[in-house]
Copies of this chain bind each other. A is one copy, B any other.
Amino acid sequence: MLNITATYTDQYQLAMAQVYFQNGQRETTAVFDYFFRKLPFRNGYAIFAGLENLLEILEDLRFSDSDIDFLKKQEFSEEFIEYLRNFKFRGTIYSAKEGDLVFPTRPVLQVEATMIEAQIIETMLLNILNFQTLIATKASRMRLVAGDRTLLDFGLRRSQGAGGYYASRAAIIGGFNGTSNVIAGKDFEIPVSGTMAHSFIQSYDDELTAFRAFAKGRPHDCVLLVDTYDTLKSGLPHAIKVGKEMEQKGEKLAGIRLDSGDLAYLAKESRKMLDNAGLEYVKIAASNQLDEFVIKSLLEQQAPIDVFGVGTNLVTGSPDGALDGVYKLAESNGKPRLKISENLSKVTIPHKKQVYRLSDSEGHLVGADAMTMRSETRIDRMHDPMESLKSLAVEGCKMEALLHPVMIDGKRTEKPRSLEEISQYAKERLGTLPAEYKRFFNPHIYKVGISSKLKEERENLLNKYKI
């Protein structure tokens, strides 16, 4: 559905690129870190999502003919336009696996390319990874509170324009079971599902006729929306009637859907009425402004809801709306680089890096990721990147390298992973995280540190630039 060309970028990337180009710095190399500073939703972890889409786009990223025509009208030189016409991303990317747990300040991904290539892809990279990571994380919060109940994404109508496309994909990585979004279902092989709208009921002269028509047309997947006129006095009795009629034909009513009113109360009453009619197998689905807090509350009230349809709050990542992921220069022309800030948390970390996840001798996570120079394979101690006096002994820990070369010289190193594989991986990785980091409120803070070597390198550089 998306036809993303290389103009999916910010103007300043092209402005800077032209300067590099004209200054004889076409081949100046760069290493950029992609990382975020703050976990969304006050959550204890984030789930990295969007990598497959990014790599797929990068392999074929070009300026189209119409892009070139457009850029000719800007103030770019002919030689530079010619360069853009032949533009191709030839860089190398080290990345966390899609679906892995990621934490603030550590690189999620590192791009090595010419400065020009690395800049041109920046905006698109941030756009894709920030958003999908946000939504996968939001979805994961809902999965943790929903247990093994079915979670469906119903968000396309309220999603931010075409943002809904990737939102449906990211929701699956976070643990959702399906989507109502047909185009995302098609492109990403997500199970699609849907029930019926109020308009369907209203278009018939009465509710029972509408239910019967739907049951006749969808005997194998009939979920009846019961709140158009009155849930308990009209919707339920009619649904039960149709459910019993279906039994006569050897069919089974799949479910009912509640979309307004007090969902806890209505679900309990509906369950009773269905059970009393011998329709114990009929599932109850609920929708209407759900989020993880509402789902948690409904389940604490023992609302017998089997399926949750979640829209707006899932696909817009409410209330956060954006992951604050950034793309910062760590090295240029082989030299480590630093951005200084009055705010220490915004001072970047130079060099090509590796990130290790630490576990104890029995393989249990100790709740810490350590950044190192890429050449380091062992460290004894990691330091807080902000508070220089804070450190943690980590000798004896098992170290799992988290950044893998997923693209070398513009070519992917591995065949694409299916969405199912990625969500399975996300589930496994989340399974390794101790419960205190998954706590709904005030989760334990996962530690991220830097090696002694990296700390020393950074401090040297800071001193050099200090005014």
Contact = CB atoms under 8 A, between A and B. Distances in A.
B198 A329 contact: yes
A162 B166 contact: yes
Given A162-B165, A316-B160, A15 B221 contact: yes
Contact of A203 (B28, B183, B218, B261): B28
Contacts of A333: 203
Contacts of A220: 75
Interface in A170-206: 180-183, 185-186, 192-200, 202-203, 205
A125 to B, nearest CB: 8
25 contacts: A9-B183, A10-B156, A10-B180, A10-B182, A10-B194, A15-B221, A16-B196, A19-B214, A23-B216, A74-B192, A126-B157, A127-B157, A127-B158, A131-B159, A159-B160, A160-B160, A160-B322, A161-B163, A163-B163, A202-B332, A227-B341, A230-B467, A261-B342, A316-B322, A319-B319
A216 B77 CA distance: 13
Interface of A: 1-5, 7-16, 18-19, 22-23, 28, 30, 32, 66-67, 70, 74-75, 115, 119, 122-123, 126-128, 130-132, 154, 156-167, 180-183, 185-186, 192-200, 202-203, 205, 213-214, 216-218, 220-221, 227-230, 233-234, 260-261, 312, 316-319, 321-324, 327-329, 332-333, 335, 337-343, 346, 465, 467
A2 B160 CA distance: 14
A182 B2 contact: no
A297 B373 CA distance: 43
B316 A321 contact: yes
A340 B5 contact: no
Contacts of A323: 158
Contact of A194 (B11, B130, B229, B327): B11
Contact of A182 (B14, B164, B227): B14
Contacts of A128: 161
Contacts of A180: 10-12
Contacts of A218: 15, 18-19
A327 to B, nearest CB: 8
A10 B160 CA distance: 15
A199 to B, nearest CB: 4
Given A12-B180, A182-B9, A329-B202, A217 B19 contact: yes
Contacts of A346: 260
A198 B341 CA distance: 11
Contacts of A319: 319, 321
Contacts of A11: 180-182, 185, 192-194
Most central of A32, A115, A213, A321 by chain B CB within 10 Å: A321
A198 B339 contact: yes
A456 B427 CA distance: 56
A70 B261 CA distance: 36
Contacts of A13: 194, 197
Contact of A340 (B8, B199, B228, B335): B228
Given A186-B70, A260-B341, A467-B230, A194 B160 contact: no
A37 B323 CA distance: 28
Given A115-B203, A199-B337, A318-B322, 4 more contacts: A126-B158, A158-B324, A203-B329, A233-B467
Contacts of A335: 205
A3 B2 contact: yes
Contact of A123 (B156, B195, B213, B260): B156
Contacts of A119: 197, 199
B115 A127 contact: no
Contact of A339 (B10, B23, B131, B228): B228
B30 A199 contact: yes
A159 B323 CA distance: 9
Given A5-B1, A23-B216, A32-B199, A161 B182 contact: no
A167 B341 CA distance: 30
Contacts of A127: 156-159, 161-162, 164
A18 B154 CA distance: 20
A167 B161 contact: yes
